[in-house]
Chain A
């Protein structure tokens, strides 16, 4: 798992609990190419967050999903700049 994936997992775990990895892996599976959670890159983040937003609403309160997506956007922004 790369550093970006670890950061995403750490943040998502605060919202999703111990099954966060399973959820994130599923959403990464929707991305084009051979992208997985382990090798996710900055360029995949926008689509990845979109999937989290869609699927997250099935298991979480909308406000919480929005909050999680905002955090992930921040992470994506920081990573892109770096």
Chain B
């Protein structure tokens, strides 16, 4: 076991695998981060587009007419039905609502089919004051805007987009908000991360096998040289070096072979040195 751990093959294979993992880890980290940002930007663009198209569908004049207590009117029912349709037709949209400003820190709901301001599932009363206003919600009265980050609340984590609603004269009278569950985005991120992890695992396994095979050929020839050197050290010079390579190990093998050949010459003509003297 100790010999295996200390062997050049183990060290070579381990070093290459570590190197591959470091390189792949760094590139994966960068790629996943970039993918996350791209997904986020794409979700934001989609939200902004959805909010703008929903806002274009809503009759601003009908919104202005709604007052607290008008929940039974046909005008309210029409708007409620339209927002319900948007929520149902798009699986990535959780809540759609119309709101208008009260002051610089609060807004009031006008139509909100699935969120009454605190819990999901029931519509909000007209004029319900909502205090958890973000700067983007207020920007939504001027132009389409999207929250920069995920907003966490009682009903989960969302990323929200807003767009202004205009009346027949083109004046902004309210805004529409669209909430997309962050889980959709997180799910996509996790999917991409798991794909990256899978590809990395496959790459490391393949690289490991290739390095193992590569180092195996090197180690095999080094072992041959080692055996020859052992034989020579014990006076056995009858075996040739059976290593044919064109790299540094090949050069080493040739040097060994020359040394063995010289020893054979000395053995074959033992008296020549004496004659030289």
Interface residues of A, Cβ cutoff 8 Å to B? 14-20, 22-23, 25-26, 58-61, 64
Contact = CB atoms under 8 A, between A and B. Distances in A.
A23 B265 contact: yes
Interface in B80-127: none
A22 B240 contact: no
B259 interface: yes
A79 B4 CA distance: 56
B234 interface: no
B240 A19 contact: no
A23 B269 contact: yes
Interface of B: 240, 257-259, 261-266, 268-269, 272-273
A19 B258 CA distance: 9
Nearest to B240: A61
Nearest to B256: A17
A16 B268 contact: no
Contacts of A19: 261-263, 265-266
A59 B264 contact: yes
10 contacts: A16-B261, A16-B262, A17-B258, A20-B262, A20-B265, A22-B273, A26-B272, A59-B261, A59-B265, A60-B264
B272 A25 contact: yes
A14 B258 contact: yes
A22 B263 CA distance: 11
Contacts of B261: 15-17, 19, 59-60
Given A16-B265, A59-B264, A22 B258 contact: no
Nearest to B265: A19
In this complex, the member of B240, B258, B263, B273 whose beta carbon has the largest number of chain A beta carbons within 10 angstroms is: B258
Nearest to B264: A59
A75 B217 CA distance: 37
Contacts of B272: 22, 25-26
B258 A16 contact: yes
B92 to A, nearest CB: 73
Contacts of B262: 16-20
Contacts of B240: 60-61
Q: Which 6 residue pairs are nearest across A and B when measured between Cβ atoms?
A: A17-B262, A17-B258, A19-B265, A19-B262, A59-B264, A23-B265
Nearest to B273: A22
